Chain A
Amino acid sequence: MDATEALEHHPHATPPIDPDPPRLPSPPPTATATATDPLNNPYASLNDLSHELSSLQELATRGSWRSILDKVARARTNHLLTKPHEHLTYLSFHLIALTKLRRFADAVAELDSLDSDLDSPNYHYQSYPHHYPNITGSMVPFVLRWLHAELPAKLGNRQETLDRFYTLLHFVRLKLSDSSKLSHFCVELWKKREVFVINTIISHHLSHKEFVICLALIKDLIGKSEGSSSEDKAALLSKLGYVQMQFGDLEGAKATFSLIEGLVSEGKGGVEMENLVSRNKALLYIVGRDYVSAVREYDVCIERDGGDAVAINNKALCLMYLRDLSDSIKVLENALERVPTAMLNETIVVNLCSMYELAYVNHSDIKRTLSNWISRVAPDDFDASSTRI
């Protein structure tokens, strides 16, 4: 059952618009509540937004994507979704689950099965005034547009994905250009979406080592980041530093990292920022082949935050470059056991398996032990092929 079947268009006319309508209490959740009545908040919990949304969100944070597929299927079969937008929310969770489980062809098929284009009036609040009185605009969750752009690359059509993301960027910018219609909060939200889309575009170009265009896009983002928090600016500049380091511009990376340190001393700091600065420092030690100092910096990070997976992983690699393969393995194994939800990451598993392959002539046994442990602990979307068994 797809979203369009449930969306009915009610053709009765809307009442004449009173410029200053009295606000009347109406049955939740579609009614508008008085601004001064906190007890009648129509959005007290996630379930007010959509049917059993709390449960969906909970499953998602636990990585139980197969359960989400079941839940969506059940909701559709048993006609549990009564409002048009709920179908779109459930569709979004369904698509994310399929994509997370690497069932890309299924995800594309489902998205293609929508009868209407995402910009169709079928997905406008004002098309269903008895469901959504006084609400106008698109009910499409932005994530659906993002997935529509991302999925072709998963099936091998990278060019289509890039084209769709650049088109999506244009769409977002058009929304922003007409910002007089939007509330301040909406403008901020659409600006965030603009940054989200640019970031995704950067990650695609980066995967293909198209560094020059990444620099141009990051430069654009830096220009837009004037009003951001120090933490966000530091995060963005760190990406720039990593890109510079990745293609070999060490002087550029050094200069970028020292800009970040300047930001941190301005801001209030906090463990996140302090660890970011320390990890950046460690990277500079690594490129200078001073692995001992890099390990020291990473230890400081781990002391501050025992779940800093990047610090732990990178420290283990440094130990390897210091000829200490045994300790590098121990660092990763211990951390996986101690903070699995932070450490269970496909890249970290790939690194550990590379170390096993070097350390043991018969490494299949130890990799199997790891694989068994992973299958007990990992979320549904964990890519088990990372153990290369």
Chain B
Amino acid sequence: MSGTQAAPHSLAFRVMRLCKPTFHVETPLRFDPFDLLTGEDLLNDPVAAQHLPRLLGSQSINSKSTESDLTYRSRFLLQDPYDAVGLSGLLVLPQSFGAIYLGETFCSYVSINNSSNFEARDIVIKAEIQTERQRILLLDTSKTPVESIRAGGRYDFIVEHDVKELGPHTLVCTALYSDADVERKYLPQFFKFIVANPLSVRTKVRVVKETTFLEACLENHTKSNLYMDQVEFEPAQHWSATLLKADDHHSGNDALTREIFKTPPILIRSGGGIHNYLYQLKTSALESAQMKVEGSNILGKLQITWRTNLGEPGRLQTQQILGSPITRKEIELQAVEVPSVIILEKPFTVHLNLTNQTDRMLGPFEVWLSQSDSHDEKVVMVNGLQTIVLPHVEAFSSTDFQLNFIAMKLGVQKISGITVFDTKEKKIHDPLPDLEVCYLYLGGLVSTLNIFVDSD
């Protein structure tokens, strides 16, 4: 009959996070003999200048060999001037677990110690990561159990896991083993950590003429400075992207410094630092009617690779970034010909073309110049029929027509308000955002046409 008290474990797990080491940095208390043993201006004196260099030079580190030197002079004297930076290249192991972020790799040294006086045998070891959503097996020695860990001995392994989820994670280490007692023992140990979000990305999209501009602002939420190794925009199909950068400021007195410092590194400060990227996107598709699709406009996504100490990498990609939705352009209205000279109060004709960009027959249409609500003088008046009737237009074809106007004001003028009404579907098509003047879009009140009106 086994007692109610559990037998003590012979084995225990010891765990240490194994991210990359860091360089030790410390302002040293090491000096040049000339700065300590004499007054700072003594060497002005010619006698001192003649004798002291030899005397004080013999005090330097380099005049003694290193291996046979049994003093701690290297803790007191500078060997080369740059020792004063305090960056000897000495590496330090990670001293604490630290923070861990999405996109990084969790790496850990795990050591199973046998601190008892008895051998442990047939050890089945498992290590897995448990999150809210899943369990990921990192190590399993079921098929080939560790034969033995002697008294006072150890069995070590290293586990790695790419962190792809936010929130609480648990590294579960278990050992099933036999020792001096009859029953096999089961040792579970749990090591918890939380994964946080390292970056947030805010995007803005603006369309100017044929070009779409995407501005991405990256904000660093971690406790370290992040070196942006690669931030690349992967455009969606039919799009191409170019990163826009300010001109590099090539400063530097000589070729060497210019060479070394030619591309300043992008480092985003810890705890809220930001950096902005600007991309110019163009559709590589032909401007044909068929390519314009209603609904969402997927531009692409950002792939981000950052690095922290000694190049420890992290990788994330954003979700699909959307551009402004493309309005369905069922009908396109264009000015084909405008007279080069327009005389005040004399009629002039504008030749227009209406294109059906859908795959079905549309129309018939009515076209008129809508009256503006403002009390300003009209720029033009329609000469003749106030409403023009256009017949059906077949799928993917167009029709030409004319509008006759009389100019009412001198100078460069805009004709706005050319409206197209589909009499069968009984609708005026939706207005479009601010547009270039050389096109006439179905925008109801936004259609404009630039003309120059001269006097006689």
Contacts and interface: CB of A to CB of B under 8 A. Distances in A.
Contacts of B48: 43, 135
Contact of B72 (A61, A310, A317): A61
Interface stretch (A12-20, A108-116, A355-363): A355-363
A373 interface: no
**Interface residue tally on A, bucketed by range:** 35 or more
A350 B41 CA distance: 41
B69 A203 contact: no
Contacts of A148: none
Interface in A301-315: 305-307, 309-310, 313-314
A246 B310 contact: yes
B253 interface: yes
A348 B90 contact: yes
B113 A360 contact: yes
Among B74, B75, B95: residue with most chain A CB under 10 A? B75
B135 interface: no
A358 B109 contact: yes
Interface stretch (B17-25, B240-248, B348-356): B17-25
Given A185-B53, A189-B43, A307-B66, A248 B312 contact: yes
Interface in B329-379: none
A242 B87 contact: yes
A157 interface: no
Given A136-B41, A235-B80, A321 B72 contact: no
Interface of A: 32-33, 35, 41-46, 49-50, 53, 57, 60-63, 85, 88-89, 92-93, 96, 99-100, 123, 125, 134-143, 145-146, 150, 153, 182-183, 185-186, 189, 192-193, 195-196, 199-200, 202-204, 206-207, 209, 211-212, 215, 219, 222-223, 226, 231-232, 235-236, 238-240, 242-250, 252, 255-256, 259, 279-280, 283, 286-287, 305-307, 309-310, 313-314, 317, 320-321, 323-326, 339, 341-342, 344-345, 347-348, 350-351, 354-355, 357-362, 379, 381
19 contacts: A43-B48, A60-B76, A63-B72, A135-B48, A141-B36, A153-B27, A185-B53, A206-B25, A206-B86, A211-B267, A231-B80, A247-B307, A248-B227, A249-B227, A259-B256, A306-B67, A310-B89, A347-B90, A361-B113
Given A61-B73, A142-B40, 19 more contacts: A32-B47, A43-B48, A63-B76, A137-B39, A146-B31, A185-B43, A199-B81, A203-B86, A222-B260, A223-B254, A235-B82, A242-B87, A245-B23, A246-B23, A246-B310, A247-B267, A286-B20, A325-B109, A354-B93
Interface of B: 12, 14, 16, 18, 20-29, 31-53, 55, 59, 66-67, 69-78, 80-93, 95, 109, 111, 113, 115, 154, 156-158, 224-227, 229, 252-254, 256-257, 260-261, 264-265, 267, 270, 306-312
